[in-house]
């Protein structure tokens, strides 16, 4: 009997140890950073450009015919308006973002769009994390506890914090010291695994950084080389006072317009996210290339289509909000309209118009019919890949989606380096290129908007 009890006890211990090991493994897995967290926690100046994609030409598809006539306004008008400081970098849910939504709604009405029947309004509200533009304070603390204030925008800048902070901390790369709550992680020395840590790095403060914090992780602090050198001296600390700038139970709004077409069972969605990286103190990240350029081109395309006598199918124009949030505007619109149509073809307009760089169509082979039609019709090359931006909300049954993009955004060092910085201004853009592609995109919608999602080979 004792042997039986001992055997049962041994088996019980084995199961207990296995369960503990599994629990520990799960815990370690949940602590790993997501790809989005790694991306948003990598300093802009250290993000290497990606390798160039193979760009291909379509064959057997004729270019669209040019539209005649004129429209009021240009893409430059819209980009310069959206990058105005009054919109605070258009960060999702902020006062500036809501003011930008009001401006877009007025423009949709001015150029002759209609409100989407399912909404009965120019705006679609949905629940998501939203951010307020709020100031922070910081001081260098010497070993004798003397505090020297740091100037926001000159000595330091920060990403929106999900909680109010008033801490005095030293630099560390020791996990045990960090976990005691008495230190800030030195991302200059060790950048791996920083997404869920309050961390500090150094760089060009005047270039700014994205204030937005879609994952709601601890804040990131960027300081000048001079401040960092002081903090590395023995006994020196940084005193941070950061506001709680993130409302996890907030709401944001898409701006949506509509033009009815001949076939109400099919729709083309032209979309572009209008939210931007925001503002921190005096540093405005205007977001001209990313992504006022896409929004401006969408509006200009809508102006051309509003003058058409007849469209082949319904056309929906969507200025999406909170692109990087888990709950984002493109998902909200996709869910709203998916049951209204038998077919939806979506074109996402993202980061276009950089001077001297060609436009590209991004789309996987699963989207080949739409991708090739658009690339051939507009006379552009394409890449067999997806971007993983707002278009992914339309990878559903009865839907197809691609991106009008510039490969240089990912692969050109100069272009890539301005994203989410104060240098992303309207002066980098070729507005003739944007006006021209808007006109061609309108012609493509008129000629090809009601094409089927799939092509079928016919053998005789």
Report the relative pairing of strands 183-186 and 165-172 from DSSP bridges: parallel
Q: Per residue, what are the HEC states of 414-451?
A: HHHHCCCCCCCCHHHECHHHHHHHHHHHHHHHHHHCCC
pLDDT of residue 455: 62
* Residue 60 per-residue DSSP state: S
Q: Give the list of residues 6+ apart from residue 86 with CB closer than 8 angstroms, or none.
A: 96, 99
DSSP for 65-99, written as a single string = PPPPS--S--HHHHHHHHTSGGGGGG-TTSHHHHH
* Residue 344 per-residue DSSP state: E
> Cα–Cα distance between 386 and 407 in angstroms, integer?
11
Predicted model pTM:
0.89
Q: Is the pLDDT of residue 15 over 60?
A: no
pLDDT of residue 23: 36
Per residue in 266-322, pLDDT (tens digit) is 999 999 999 999 999 999 999 999 999 999 999 999 999 999 999 999 999 999 999
Higher pLDDT pick, 407 / 9: 407
pLDDT of residue 49: 62
Q: 């740091």: which residue's tokens? A: 150
Per residue in 383-435, pLDDT (tens digit) is 999 899 999 999 999 999 999 999 999 999 999 999 999 999 999 999 999 99
């Amino acid at each position: 009997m004792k042997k039986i009890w001992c055997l049962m006890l041994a088996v019980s211990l084995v199961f207990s140890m296995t369960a503990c090991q599994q629990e520990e493994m799960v815990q370690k897995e949940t602590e790993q950073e997501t790809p989005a967290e790694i991306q948003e926690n990598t300093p802009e100046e250290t993000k290497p450009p990606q390798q160039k994609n193979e760009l291909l030409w379509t064959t057997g598809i004729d270019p669209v015919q040019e539209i005649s006539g004129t429209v009021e306004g240009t893409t430059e008008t819209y980009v310069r308006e959206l990058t105005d400081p009054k919109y605070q970098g258009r960060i999702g849910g902020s006062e500036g973002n809501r003011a930008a939504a009001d401006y877009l709604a007025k423009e949709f009405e001015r150029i002759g769009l209609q409100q989407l029947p399912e909404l009965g309004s120019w705006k679609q509200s949905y629940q998501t994390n939203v951010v307020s533009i709020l100031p922070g304070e910081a001081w260098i603390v010497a070993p004798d506890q003397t505090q020297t204030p740091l100037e926001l925008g000159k000595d330091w800048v920060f990403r929106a914090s999900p909680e109010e902070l008033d801490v005095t901390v030293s630099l560390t790369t020791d996990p045990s010291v960090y976990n005691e709550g008495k230190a800030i992680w030195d991302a200059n020395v060790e950048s791996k695994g920083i997404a869920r840590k309050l961390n500090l790095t150094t760089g060009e403060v005047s270039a700014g950084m994205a204030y937005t914090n879609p994952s709601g992780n601890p804040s990131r602090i960027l300081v000048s080389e001079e401040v960092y050198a002081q903090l590395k001296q023995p006994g020196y600390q940084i005193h941070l006072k950061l506001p709680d700038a993130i409302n996890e139970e907030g709401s944001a709004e898409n701006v949506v317009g509509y033009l009815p077409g001949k076939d109400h069972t099919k729709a083309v969605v032209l979309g572009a996210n209008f939210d931007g990286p925001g503002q921190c103190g005096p540093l405005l990240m205007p977001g001209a290339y990313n992504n006022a350029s896409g929004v401006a081109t969408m509006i200009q395309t809508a102006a051309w289509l509003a003058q058409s006598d007849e469209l082949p199918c319904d056309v929906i124009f969507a200025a999406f909000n909170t692109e990087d949030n888990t709950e984002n505007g493109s998902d909200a619109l996709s869910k709203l309209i998916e049951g209204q149509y038998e077919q939806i073809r979506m074109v996402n307009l993202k980061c276009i118009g950089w001077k001297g760089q060609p436009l590209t169509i991004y789309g996987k082979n699963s989207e080949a019919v739409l991708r090739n039609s658009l690339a051939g019709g507009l006379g552009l090359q394409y890449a067999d890949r997806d971007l993983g931006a707002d278009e992914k909300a339309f990878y559903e049954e009865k839907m197809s989606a691609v991106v009008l993009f510039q490969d240089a955004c990912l692969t050109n060092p100069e272009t890539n380096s301005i994203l989410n910085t104060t240098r992303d201004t309207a002066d980098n853009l070729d507005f003739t290129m944007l006006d021209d592609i808007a006109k061609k995109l309108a012609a493509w919608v008129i000629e090809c908007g009601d094409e089927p999602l799939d092509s079928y080979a016919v053998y005789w």
